[in-house]
């Protein structure tokens, strides 16, 4: 199986290589792909040096799977060309997520919707992924009625330039700014662009993508997304109104037994999820489970995940694993 990583020189592209190695994802040929200006760069992976190639060359090589993390513009232009060449494209940008002709997939929840004919598959937004994974067993058991979520997001979600801005500010040096204000020692309630309704595009992604992943437009989601001067992962305060009464111990059991979730919920011993502990890990960590005493059938939880791993690279590789096993091994 020929595998292409498109956007291999970026933060998420580099994380994808780590995940491929950690999960021992098998391939016969690996193509590391980037923009024309990055072509010719060298990347060492598993002791072998690879030369980064440009898009045109990668399409001509006809990969079986192409995992994109190159931005929405590049994806809109190039994903169809890879698909026409026979590749199954798994795209990490927002370009295809809400397109009704393309599936939006979190493997633990809805991989079953994929067919052999799905040639461009969308990877959800990082904040959405980590929220819906622990919500899935609750929705199945009780029905999720409404979600109020506030996010506390790592600068790594913006990319290397944002990490550089935070570190230069922390060191008291001048440097390039990708945020409209200082990020170190600050909190910006501003992720992505503001829309006419006063929400940011990041916040509306969480609303719309949740409905599509669960295939249920009756779920109401309202979000506030905040950027913090941290690295390691995103955190979320999630308030969930369920359609039926619940037992808190049963909720703990459902979440603890969900694939891809680690329950860290022992407040008597100060055990709860933190970005420091999630960094470099593929799981979603959940804690601070407690009943909302202000209204019935409502639950509070604290959810943390490494946004470059499960929020991006790991989820994409999991989709690739499913596609390879379900459709390519069967046909080989």
- Placement of tokens 């440009």 in the chain: 54
Q: Which residues are catalytic?
A: 126, 234
Residues 211 and 301 in one domain: yes
**pLDDT higher than threshold 90 for residue 331:** no
Q: For all residues of the chain together, what is the average pLDDT?
A: 96
Residues 152 and 299 in one domain: yes
> What domain range includes position 201?
127-307
Note the pTM of the prediction, 2 decimals. 0.95
Strand ranges, E, within the chain: 2-6, 29-33, 42-45, 48-51, 65-68, 88-91, 120-122, 144-153, 220-227, 234-242, 261-263, 284-291, 298-305
Per cent of the chain over pLDDT 70 is: 99
Domain count, the chain: 2
What confidence score (pLDDT) does residue 232 get? 87
Residues 132 and 120 in one domain: no
Residues 143 and 61 in one domain: no
User: Residue 81 belongs to a domain with what CATH number?
Assistant: 3.40.50.720
**Antiparallel, parallel or unpaired: β 234-242 and 144-153:** antiparallel
User: Residue 167 belongs to a domain with what CATH number?
Assistant: 3.30.360.10
The phi and psi torsions of 276 (rounded to 5 degrees) equal -55, -40
Residues 152 and 244 in one domain: yes
**pLDDT higher than threshold 80 for residue 38:** yes
Over residues 105-154, the pLDDT tens digits come to 999 999 999 999 999 999 999 999 999 999 999 999 999 999 999 999 99
**pLDDT higher than threshold 60 for residue 276:** yes
What confidence score (pLDDT) does residue 57 get? 96
Over residues 197-209, the pLDDT tens digits come to 999 999 999 999 9
Residues 17 and 145 in one domain: no
**pLDDT higher than threshold 60 for residue 25:** yes
What confidence score (pLDDT) does residue 328 get? 83
What confidence score (pLDDT) does residue 248 get? 97
Q: How far apart are CA 18 and CA 80, in angstroms?
A: 27
């Amino acid at each position: 199986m020929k595998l292409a990583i498109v956007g291999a020189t970026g933060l998420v592209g580099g994380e994808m290589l780590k995940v491929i190695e950690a999960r021992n994802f098998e391939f016969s040929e690996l193509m590391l792909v980037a923009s024309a200006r990055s072509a010719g760069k060298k990347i060492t992976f598993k002791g072998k040096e690879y030369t980064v190639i440009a898009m045109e060359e990668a399409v001509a090589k006809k990969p079986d799977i192409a995992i994109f993390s190159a931005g929405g513009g590049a994806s809109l232009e190039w994903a169809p060309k890879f698909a026409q060449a026979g590749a199954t494209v798994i795209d990490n940008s927002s370009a295809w997520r809400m397109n009704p002709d393309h599936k939006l997939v979190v493997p633990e929840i809805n991989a079953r919707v994929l067919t052999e004919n799905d040639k461009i598959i969308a990877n959800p937004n990082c904040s959405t992924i980590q929220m819906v994974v622990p919500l899935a067993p609750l929705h199945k058991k009780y029905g999720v009625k409404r979600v109020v979520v506030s996010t506390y997001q790592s600068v790594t979600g913006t990319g290397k330039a944002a990490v550089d801005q935070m570190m230069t500010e922390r060191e008291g040096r001048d440097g390039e700014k990708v945020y409209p204000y200082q990020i170190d020692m600050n909190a910006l309630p501003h992720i992505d662009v503001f829309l006419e309704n006063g929400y940011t595009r990041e916040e509306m992604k969480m609303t719309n993508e949740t409905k599509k992943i669960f295939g249920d437009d009756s779920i109401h989601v309202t979000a506030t997304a905040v950027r913090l001067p941290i690295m390691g992962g995103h955190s979320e305060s999630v308030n969930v109104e369920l359609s039926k009464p619940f037992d808190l111990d049963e909720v703990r059991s459902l979440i603890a037994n969900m694939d891809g979730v680690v329950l860290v919920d022992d407040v008597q011993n100060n055990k709860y999820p933190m970005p420091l502990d999630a960094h470099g890990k593929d799981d979603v960590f959940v804690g601070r489970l407690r009943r909302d005493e202000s209204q019935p059938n409502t639950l509070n939880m604290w959810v943390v995940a490494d946004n470059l791993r499960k929020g991006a690279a790991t989820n994409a590789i999991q989709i690739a694993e499913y596609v390879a096993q379900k459709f390519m091994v069967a046909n080989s």
